[in-house]
Every structure is written in structure tokens, then in C-alpha cells.
A = this chain, B = another copy of it.
Amino acid sequence: MARTQGSHSDITGPRVREAALRLFAQHGYAAVSMRQIAREVGVQAGALYNYTPDKQALLFSLLQGHMDELLAAWEAEPRPQGARDRLEGFVRFHIRFNLARPEAIFISYMELRNLDPENFAVIEALRKRYEGALEEILRDGQTEGAFSVPDTRLASYALIAMLTGVNTWYRAGGRLSIEEVADIYWDMVRKAVSAG
């Protein structure tokens, strides 16, 4: 019968995922060995295979877990009436969520090419769903006459790139709080989609 309490796997499982996430983010998937992950967890390399069928599945599981969290969190957000308020909500949500999970965000953008084709397709579909939410807001705003965005597809790419870029420079404890950063970015986004 399976042990349901005090099992090491309750401890080791998450630790494996945390170590892998941190190391993949720091050095890159290809540059990190299973033995490095194991050392970080305080275990032999073979023990990792109680928690993942192989290295590739470990990467995929991390990315999929992150995308699921992202979509769930976004869909749990309030959905205001006007497109303008929905856009503001998206900007602030994206910055807040991304800065709370820098490693996951990082590997989500950097390690896509290290996914097997089938795994890549799954993650890519999830990402398209998330980015589609932004484009929908832009389209609504265009219809409402609240925005002036001739090409909503392009604009969504541009804004996503801009917002995600926060992760490349933001460091906790710097001169700006997350809310201040979000204020500044929202100001730029607001103007960028306006009639100007």
C-alpha cells in the first residue's frame, strides 16, 4: 500500500522541480545535467527518475505547469466592462505575475526550442491562448472606438514583448516598486494604443 504520510516523495518531488527550474533558468536546459539537479536536491542522479521519466519530461512539466498557472490566474481576474479598463487590468496582471515568477517566465521564453515537437505544440497553444486574450481586448477597444490600433495582431505582439521585457532588468529592492513600474508601463501602453 502506498505511503500517504511522511513519504519522502512529498518533499523530494517539489524540491526536484524547484532545483530544475532554478538551474534551467540560470544556465539553460542543455547546459544543466541531471547530476547537477540531483546534487542540488541532495540525492543521487538515479533517484530523479522516481519523479520524471526523463529530462525532457521534466522541462515540459515545468513549462506546462507554469502556463496552466498563468492561464488560471488570468481567467480568475476580474473582467471590467470597457476595453480600456480590461487593458489596464492585463498590463498590471502581466507585470505582477511575471515579476513574481522570474525563473518560470525566463525558461518559458528561452527553452521552447529545447522541447520535443509534440511538447512544443502543447506549450505554444497555451501561449497563443494567453496572448490571444490581449489581442481580443485590443480588438474590442478598436470596435468600441476606445483605441486606435489598426493592426491588433502586431500591437499585441509589440505590447507583450514590451511588458515581458520588464523581467530582463527589474530587480527586487531596486529604486522602483512593482506597482510603480506597472504605473509607468500602463502609461506608455495607454498612450501607444490611443488616438494620438
Binding site for B on A (CB under 8 A): 26-28, 30-31, 110, 113-114, 150-151, 154-155, 157-162, 164-166, 168-169, 176, 181, 184-185, 187-194, 196
Which B residue's beta carbon lies closest to that of A31? B30
In Å, the complex CA distance between A160 and B189 comes to 14
Copies in the complex: 2
- A161-B164, A161-B165 given as contacts; is B30 within 8 A of A184 (CB)? no
Contact of A157 among B31, B154, B155, B165 (CB under 8 A): B165
A168 and B162: CB pair below 8 A? Answer: no
- A158-B165, A191-B194 given as contacts; is B28 within 8 A of A151 (CB)? no
